[in-house]
Amino acid sequence: MSTNVIELNHVQKNFGRTQALKNVTFNVPTGEVVGFLGPNGAGKSTTIRILLGMLKRNGGEATVFGQDPWHNDLQIHPRIAYVPGDVYLWPNLTGGEIVDLLLRLNGQNHTAKTDELMKVFEFDPKKKARAYSKGNRQKVALIAALSQDAELYIFDEPTSGLDPLNELTFQQEVLKLKEAGKTVLLSSHILSEVEKMCDAIVIIREGEIIEQGNLDQMRHLSRLRVQVETDAAITGLDKQSGVYDLKFTNHDQTAATFAVDHDVLGQVMAALTPLGIKDFQSTPPTLEDLFLHYYSDKGATQHVAQ
């Protein structure tokens, strides 16, 4: 069997004149949790719908478990648990009835795991679905998906309606899937969420994959944040290439913050050392910084990981 559960190669999708996907190429290896990041309208849900055989691509190759999802959706569906971005429920059924219905539609049963999930998500299964808030509607789909024994789990922005405690519960459940060797594709625009759970991330913008790699590979492309305090006034750093956003935080210019490219860090340290370093803190960039970097205007340049 292929080592990739999902393979996408130059996938394209048009809606009339809108080129929703221009070039989507990435793989999801077996047993990995992959974060699929991008802003609104980038093409995350469209890609996911192609993987589920709900949309027909206009070009490129797509396989799930080695099969074309458009032609073999009936074969691949029983192996997938999916939570859509917008959860629609039958208004006259209770949440509990819908969870069981969703499970049965996937050939699965209500198990002890289902009860456990209802407990950890503090979900009341007795209310009619029309009375549920957005978060509760999302919980119905999450509980049904997470209590399935699937090989591949696809979550499309699963925590957008959840409060922080439930978001944490969701993260813990994904980590359990990861420990059990399951494969997960998780779309999100929340980077901190992805950082905690994912082995690798793929960033999509305007229908194109602009970056992909594991977290370490992504981090080295961004800049370190530095906070420094010295005995003598700091001079010359403003002229050093690779140093950005230099700000002095006291009047005698012996305390500063700045961002620095990794490859000039040595030069910056060499310039600071003779000044007598009293304090030095550097923080690795979060994915938040990375994201801002890519989606700012100057972030339009392409980078290649590795």
Ligand X SMILES: Nc1ncnc2c1ncn2[C@@H]1O[C@H](COP(=O)(O)OP(=O)(O)OP(=O)(O)O)[C@@H](O)[C@H]1O
Q: State the residues that interact with ligand X by CB under 6 A.
A: 15, 18, 20, 38, 40-46, 85, 189
Find the shortest distance in angstroms from Cβ 40 to ligand X: 3
Rounded distance, CA 23 to CA 141, Å?
30
Q: How far apart are CA 71 and CA 53, in angstroms?
A: 7
Tell me how far, at minimum, the Cβ of 44 lies from ligand X, in Å. 3
Q: How far apart are CA 31 and CA 144, in angstroms?
A: 21
Q: Which is nearer to ligand X, 43 or 285 (CB)?
A: 43
Choosing among Mg ion, ligand X, none, which partner's interface includes residue 302 (Cβ < 5 to 8 Å by kind)? Answer: none
As given in the structure block, the two tokens for residue 52 are 């589920």
Question: HEC profile for 243-260?
Answer: EEEEEECCCCCCEEEEEE
85 binds Mg ion (CB under 5 A): yes
Site string for Mg ion, 33-52 (x = CB under 5 A): -----------xx-------
Q: CA-to-CA distance for 257 and 248, rounded, in angstroms?
A: 7
Number of CB atoms found within 10 A of residue 17's CB: 5
Pick 56 or 127: Cβ nearer ligand X: 56
Find the shortest distance in angstroms from Cβ 41 to ligand X: 4
Measured from the CB atom, the residue of 135 and 242 that comes closer to Mg ion is 135
CB contact at 8 A, 20 and 45: no
Of 190, 204, 123, whose CA–CA distance to 160 is shortest?
Answer: 190
Closest by CA to 53, choosing from 26, 33, 78, is: 78
Residue with tokens 């439930």: 166
Residue 40 interface partner, choices Mg ion, ligand X, none, CB cut-off 5-8 Å depending on type: ligand X
Q: How far is the CB of 159 from ligand X (least distance, A)?
A: 13
What's the Cα-to-Cα distance from 46 to each of 33, 194, 255, rounded to whole Å? 19, 20, 49
Least Å from the CB of residue 248 to ligand X: 40
Say which DSSP state 146 is in. H
Please identify, using beta-carbon distances, which residue of 37 and 259 lies nearer to Mg ion: 37
Tell me which of ligand X, Mg ion, none is bound by residue 46, counting a contact when its beta carbon lies within the kind-specific cut-off of 5 to 8 angstroms. ligand X
How many residues of this chain interact with Mg ion, rule: CB under 5 A?
3
Cβ-based nearer residue to ligand X, 44 or 137: 44
Q: How far is the CB of 59 from Mg ion (least distance, A)?
A: 21
Per CB under 5 A, residues contacting Mg ion are: 44-45, 85
